[in-house]
Amino acid sequence: MSLEKTMDDVIVRSDEVAAAQAEGRAVVALESTIITHGMPYPQNLETARRVEAEVRASGAVPATIAVMGGRIRVGLSDAELDALAQAKGVAKLSRADLAVCLAQGGVGATTVAATMICAARAGIAVFATGGIGGVHKGAEDSFDISADLQELAQTPVTVVAAGAKAILDLPKTLEVLETLGVPVIAHVQDAFPAFWSRQSGLAAPLRLDTPEEIAAAHRMRGALGLPGGQLVANPIPLEAEIPADRLAPLIAQAQAEADAQGIAGKAVTPFLLQRLFELTEGQSLEANIALVLNNARLAARIARALLG
């Protein structure tokens, strides 16, 4: 008996996603760590449903991706979303541990990197998320750099995010993306956004203002045979942002607490997000939800433009 598995064995598409792909309609991939590690219940479930609704309202089909029962689930039913939102001990999957979780029949939520891998294998070219991972502060000593950056350099998916998470070292993150040859495209502004804030104080390397231009750039990378995808940095809506100068001291406080408690690796981001939720009295969560919805809308428009 062969132990080899094909993509058809590993990937299970929901009926909605399978029908959309068969009919040539736009599909947008969505990650699942925002559900399991990014927000508390029940806000995580409510947000997941709202993000999927935004994708549908913008003319595309949502495909929330997670590992369940030893399969990559591409598109989740409402019952599956509910179960995932309340599940305990869900693995946070990136490139390094995706295959092991699948082989062991575990339950895992996909980070940006893992979602890109799964989306590409499922034939989905556009992915909406909150913010990408990047270079952590102090990385010159810890070497803590998210696998998301390397994934953007090798997997051909356009990722729509509100920049990189503001808890990161943003100048170093942009430097690494440049070194890896990843296009960093700001949408409708010249500045690189900083997740909860529209301005990071850093200029974006590239700017494109329409979904059609972004889709054309995606197609051109394929025509040139260039590996990797592109990062579309979509600023949070003005009415929802938290100004960077207000956030900076709170981020510094949360980071100092993480250092004092010896928190490292994959545990850093969830800890910092939770502390900022507490320090902003919930405003960071409200901003997070607003920016994810905004990214879902733009991603759906890009996915539709890619069909043109």
**pLDDT score, position 121:** 97
Which of 16, 165, 241, 266 is the catalytic position?
A: 165
Split at pLDDT 50, 70, 90, the class of 9 is: confident
Mean pLDDT of 225-247: 97
pLDDT of 119-140, one tens digit each? 999 999 999 999 999 999 889 9
**pLDDT score, position 2:** 42
Mean pLDDT of 43-65: 97
Among 35-49, 77-91, 226-240, the minimum mean pLDDT is found in 35-49
What's the whole-number average pLDDT of the chain? 95
Mean pLDDT of 289-305: 98
Distances in whole angstroms, Cα of residue 159 to Cα of each of 127, 218, 251, 293: 5, 11, 25, 14
Mean pLDDT of 265-272: 83
CA 44 to chain centre: 15
Query: What pairing do the DSSP bridges indicate for beta strands 108-110 and 126-128?
Result: unpaired
Mean pLDDT of 30-35: 95
- 178 given a catalytic annotation: no
Residue 74: pLDDT over 80: yes
Residue 3: pLDDT over 80: no
Residue 203: pLDDT over 90: yes
**pLDDT score, position 5:** 65
Beta strand ranges found along the chain (DSSP E): 11-13, 27-30, 61-68, 71-74, 91-93, 108-110, 126-128, 158-161, 184-187, 206-208, 230-233
**pLDDT score, position 7:** 73
Split at pLDDT 50, 70, 90, the class of 294 is: very high
Split at pLDDT 50, 70, 90, the class of 109 is: very high
**pLDDT score, position 1:** 31
Measured distance CA(89)–CA(97) in Å, rounded = 15
Q: What is the pTM of this model?
A: 0.95
pLDDT of 142-192, one tens digit each? 899 999 999 999 999 999 999 998 999 999 999 999 999 999 999 999 999
Measured distance CA(30)–CA(126) in Å, rounded = 9
Which of 16, 31, 52, 151 is the catalytic position?
A: 31
Mean pLDDT of 292-304: 98
**pLDDT score, position 4:** 57
- 54 given a catalytic annotation: no
